[in-house]
Amino acid sequence: MSIATKKGDDGSTGLMYNRRVSKCHPRVEAYGTVDELNASLAWRARQHKPRSCAKVCWPFNRTLVTLMGELATLVEDLPRYVASGFHVVTPELTVKLDHIVKEIEAQNVSFKGWATPGENSSAATLDVARTLCAGRNGASARCRKAVNCTMPKL
């Protein structure tokens, strides 16, 4: 099977369960932005030391995959999605992530100069992730306002 299906030549893209939406749909923007964030975190975790970053990033990577799957599923297909064994974002899932953030912040992390990118190559990869996360917030807000577009809170 080719990744060049030509099905999107009409300006549409595929979602779960053979659903089609415009490539300009807020849902597509939202999961595309989340995908960029996920790739950025994976890059940071797998390419740079310390390896402890991988242990911190991995739960976020898995959660972002869950989020992308949910975003790629229309509201009316969510029961089918869950019945197929896929996970959706839940409050319990976000609590786990909040706990990781609190552990990091308990290490007396300094936020001085936090918005100045590129202190070193490791920091630069996280700077990319930070900016993508900010973009994800805008994409999620646009998705929430769109007709028939839910956006899990993460």
* Domain assignment present for 83: yes
What is the C-alpha radius of gyration for the chain, rounded to an integer number of angstroms?
17
Examine residue 6 and state whether it is found in any structural domain, yes or no.
no
The number of residues making up the chain comes to 154
CA 49, CA 44: separation in Å to the nearest integer?
Answer: 9
Is there a domain that residue 113 lies in?
no
Question: Domain span at residue 141?
Answer: 20-106+123-145
Which residues, 6+ apart, have CB-to-CB distance to 57 below 8 Å?
41, 42, 44, 45
Residue 20 in 3-state DSSP? Answer: strand
Domains held by the chain: number: 1
- Spatial contact of 77 and 47, defined as CB atoms under 8 Å apart: no
Q: For 106-153, what is each residue's pLDDT tens digit? A: 887 776 766 667 777 777 777 787 777 776 677 767 766 665 555 555
Identify the H or E element spanning 117. Answer: none
Mean pLDDT confidence for 54-81: 88
Residue 3 resides in a domain? no
- What tens digit of pLDDT does each residue of 8-30 get? 778 899 999 999 999 888 888 88
